[in-house]
Amino acid sequence: MQARRASRELAFILFSQFDKRKYSEEDLEDIILKSVRILTSSAEDDLKTALSALIEMKDKIDTYEADHEINLSRPIGVANLPVPMTSDISGRLGEMTEIAEKTLFALEIAEFAALDTQNEVKSYAIKIAQEFLNHNAETDEIIRKYAKNWNLERLVKMDKDILRIAITELLYVKDAPFQVIVDEAIELAKKYSTDDSASFINGILAKVIVDYGLN
């Protein structure tokens, strides 16, 4: 995952936890750290479950090979003949197990990265959050303007936050090509909301880009 894409994911987590109060940079860093820990903990649990299932599956395949009739009839001490497909499947499961183990390690590295105050991912996420907090009224007014027939308060929270992030980047951060910002907003919508949301968000951002002369 590219640094800026990871930053937008972190910003999305930040925005989901905002309420009406003011936030210092230390507050934002604290939310990010806690969020990363929650995400890594959840991912770690999922990976451990998957890893356990992979190990169990590999054991079953190895046992199946040993107990197959072509090997039960072979002399003791003679190596088993590989049952068709068994060795290939077992090898692939071994590779998947190794990948899962490496991913667990990568998640630990991700948490350490979030602790680094100079980390590009965290810094850019905080920059987006700060600019939104400085311009939240204007940003929400822009959403109201272009989300015709939609009440801002009734918009799906995820869609609203994705729009807030993208509009903040487009108008106030101004540190990435508009097409990249739009594309990644759409990806966030597909990942966390729905395909209909992705289309809705794309339409609003397209109007913002044209009306504000960003194209």
DSSP calls for 12-37: HHHHHT--SS---HHHHHHHHHHHHH
* 117 pLDDT more than 60: no
- The per-residue pLDDT for range 158-204, each reduced to its tens digit, is 999 999 999 999 999 999 999 999 999 999 998 888 778 899 999 99
Q: Report the pLDDT value the prediction gives residue 15, as an integer from 0 to 100.
A: 87
Q: Does 106 score more than 70 pLDDT?
A: no
For residue 81, what are the CA distances in angstroms to 48, 75, 155? 32, 12, 62
Model pLDDT, residue 203: 93
Rounded distance between C-alpha atoms, residue 107 and residue 94, angstroms: 20
Close Cβ partners of 147 (under 8 Å, ≥ 6 residues apart) = 155, 200, 204
Ranking 25-34, 45-54, 156-165, 168-177 by mean pLDDT, the lowest is: 45-54
- The b-or-e profile of 141-178 (16+ CB within 10 A means b, else e) is ebbeebbeebeeeebbebbbbbbbbbbbbbbbbeeeeb
User: How far is the C-alpha of 87 from the C-alpha of 149, rounded, in Å?
Assistant: 60
Query: What pLDDT does residue 154 have?
Result: 67
Question: What mean pLDDT, rounded, does the chain reach?
Answer: 81
Question: Please, which pLDDT band fits residue 88 given cuts at 50, 70 and 90?
Answer: low
Say which residue, 146 or 120, is predicted with more confidence: 146
More confident residue, 125 or 19: 125
Hey, CA dihedral for 72, 74, 77, 83, is it positive or negative?
negative
Helix extents (H) in the chain? 3-16, 25-67, 69-72, 86-115, 120-134, 136-146, 157-168, 178-192, 195-211
